Amino acid sequence: MTKKILFPLFLFPVVLFAQINTDRVMAIARNALYFEDYVLSIQYFNQVISAKPYLYEPYFYRGLAKIQLDDFQGAESDCDEAIKRNPFVVGAYQIRGLARIRQNKYEEAIRDYRTALTYAPENITLWHNLALCRLQKKDYEAAESDLGQLLAIAPKYTKGYLMRGEAALRQQDTIRALGDIDKAIELDRYDADTWASRAIVRLQQGKYAEAEGDLDHAIRLSAKNAANYINRALARFHQNNLRGAMADYDMALEVEPNSFIGHYNRGLLRAQVGDDNRAIEDFDFVLKVEPDNMMAIFNRGLLRAQTGDYGGAIDDYTKVINQYPNFLAGYYHRAEAKRKVGDRKGANRDELAIMNIQLNRYAGTGTNNTSSTNQDLTDNADASDKEDDGKTRKKSDKNMNNYRKVVIADSSEADQRYTSYYRGKVQDRNVNVKPEPMYVLSYYEKSSDVKRAVHYHKFIDELNRSNALPQRLRITNAEAPLTEEQIQKHFGLIDAHSSAIVADERNVTVRFARGLDFYLVQDFGSSIEDLTQAILLDDTFYPAYFMRALVRCKQLEYLRAEELQNATVIMGAHAKPDVSIVDYDIVKSDLNKVIGLAPDFVYAYYNRGNLLTMLKDYRAAIADYDKAIQLNPDFAEAYFNRGLTHIFLGNNKKGIADLSKAGELGIVSAYNIIKRFTEVPE
């Protein structure tokens, strides 16, 4: 398949004659990787490896692409090859360590991070992941030692304090844990994890009102974290606020519909307030996930009896009794249900069984007909007719007498929240607060759960109706990465368009189409060449100017990131990229031309606003967003970006108003930004 997909590369500017130009293909591959087109980047790296198998870079970057696609074994193998060829590349150990973590190979990952730290002793990411591996292995002393060194290097690194607090908490030292978590909150009051971590300690201390307050802050800052709602529900439950707890379980299940704890506990609370039918629905869901969960079966049996479904209740009670032959409550409720359906003999047998179990327990003889396997399973259930102390139980608790209790996660499950803290992406970008991206003309668009407006312009519609292009052109800022089949298709189209250009060198549309194909396969240089030729043939064809501005801007973004990364290695944290403002002026000139040719093309104003924001010319950017909104009053992305720009200028009130409008129009992340820039009280 690889040869078929990449065969057209031998016909175009990425090669010289029959010899592959590995430098250029490598640059295109890294470009595709940076813009998260992982499948395409792998195809390019394959070509470089075939041509020059002695290079370490294509193996390393292919491993990075594979880890983004969750191919952890493949990523580890590629990093092995990279390290064989160059054992001094820190990134290769970092990525291999991450791939090994995802395969639960913690000891091997620790070796990778320790080796990498000999070459980069102040690398925060390496110390971070090393400490988390220690936590996973329960080597708390070593974890705290590593975190001490990390915090000496980066004393304002909040995640380091949170991890050290977690290490102390796992050793039952809540005082030290709170000290570190309080320090993290002091350093960053806008990090939801800091508040959530302190809430967990306060829950363990029984300080439920304080825990609820901390979780209020965490939820304000990060509304899409189901665990925070589940923990706040627990805090509210302990304060006898059942309605509030149920509301939190509702929100948790909206965020994470398959949450076991969310459904189980909501079912219990619904039963307590008499909402029996909906409680049954929750337990039905739990039993789809865990068909042998006896406590869920028993609770459903109680609810079925409550709603008059005695046959269903008897079935549920029988399943539990078969598993736990000495569970008195099971016999008692089954006897009651049998009487309701007129089965007096069956009810009498169950009542006799209750008497025999009680007599045997009194005599200390146990039961004679219980198999050793069942006895192992029933040790906890049969030891006592009493519930354990407390209002909650661990999910792994098998004591059937605790069936009424709210479930909390086992320690091993709670620890899983820290797995998302592992860091490994080389091309780090600001993912917390960033503008909506620029618009592009493309054949592909990501599907969205939230319905957005269909973007339209008369000229683009006419171009689509002419069938001059191989597919319908879309105006979008949500580009979808290409699949292998689409990659193959566009390399084939490049070949076909090249033949058409040879036949008719003055065909503007074909030049433009090939420029789009080159853009889609991330060959920005060739794309710009074709778009320039299209402009030379027809200087009124504004889509070519629009796309050339977009492609150049992306090319500059990639070059800037590359130069910054390389300069940081040489000069340290104060390095600055070498991309000049003049380069961006060329992009701006193309957008000015689009606006001159098509003053109603709203996306040119929007893109120019984004460009001006990048150049920190915020007031000029706001003027462009104003014009875009004037032309299209429902332009959600323009409201969102104008809102952020107002905030950058310190006009929070105007910014929040715009973000609110953006959220109303479908950009749900706007609400989290609003919460972030709404003052959190001490």
Q: Residue 41: enclosing H or E segment and its boundaries?
A: helix 38-51
Neighbours of 317 (CB within 10 A): 28
User: Which one is predicted more confidently, 563 or 55?
Assistant: 55
Q: Residue 87: enclosing H or E segment and its boundaries?
A: none
Question: What is the pLDDT at residue 422?
Answer: 56
Q: What is the pLDDT of residues 311-321, one digit of tens each?
A: 999 999 999 99
Question: What is the pLDDT at residue 389?
Answer: 59
User: Which one is predicted more confidently, 681 or 436?
Assistant: 436
For the cut 80, the answer to whether the pLDDT of residue 677 exceeds it is: no
Q: What is the pLDDT of residues 171-215, one digit of tens each?
A: 989 999 999 999 999 999 988 899 999 999 999 899 999 999 999
C-alpha distances in angstroms, 570 versus 203, 262, 425, 565, 576? Answer: 47, 50, 20, 9, 11
- Mean residue pLDDT of the chain comes to 86
Dmax (CA) for the chain in angstroms is 102
Q: What is the pLDDT of residues 555-610, one digit of tens each?
A: 988 887 776 555 443 333 444 445 566 688 999 999 999 999 999 999 999 999 99
Q: What is the pLDDT of residues 230-247, one digit of tens each?
A: 999 999 999 999 999 999
Confidence of residue 19 (pLDDT cuts 50, 70, 90): low
Question: What is the pLDDT at residue 582?
Answer: 66
For the cut 80, the answer to whether the pLDDT of residue 489 exceeds it is: yes
**First-to-final CA distance of the chain:** 59
Question: What is the pLDDT at residue 2?
Answer: 37
For the cut 70, the answer to whether the pLDDT of residue 379 exceeds it is: no
Using DSSP, state whether 203 is helix, strand or coil. helix
* Residues whose CB falls within 8 Å of the CB of residue 333, separated by 6 or more in sequence, listed in order: 301, 302, 305, 313, 317
For the cut 60, the answer to whether the pLDDT of residue 219 exceeds it is: yes
Percent of the chain exceeding pLDDT 70 equals 85
Q: Quote the CA–CA distance of 340 and 334 in Å, as a whole number.
A: 10
Within 13 Å of residue 647, how many CA atoms lie on the same side as its CB? 21
Question: What is the pLDDT at residue 569?
Answer: 39
Question: What is the pLDDT at residue 344?
Answer: 94
Q: Which domains does the chain have, with CATH numbers?
A: 440-676 (1.25.40.10)
Q: Quote the CA–CA distance of 248 and 358 in Å, as a whole number.
A: 41
Question: What is the pLDDT at residue 297?
Answer: 96
CB 174 within 8 A of CB 197: no
Confidence of residue 387 (pLDDT cuts 50, 70, 90): low
Single out the residue of 257, 183, 245 nearest to residue 212, CA to CA.
Answer: 245
Question: What is the pLDDT at residue 566?
Answer: 55
DSSP per position, 416-455: GGGGGG----SS----SS-PPPPPEEES-----SS--PPP
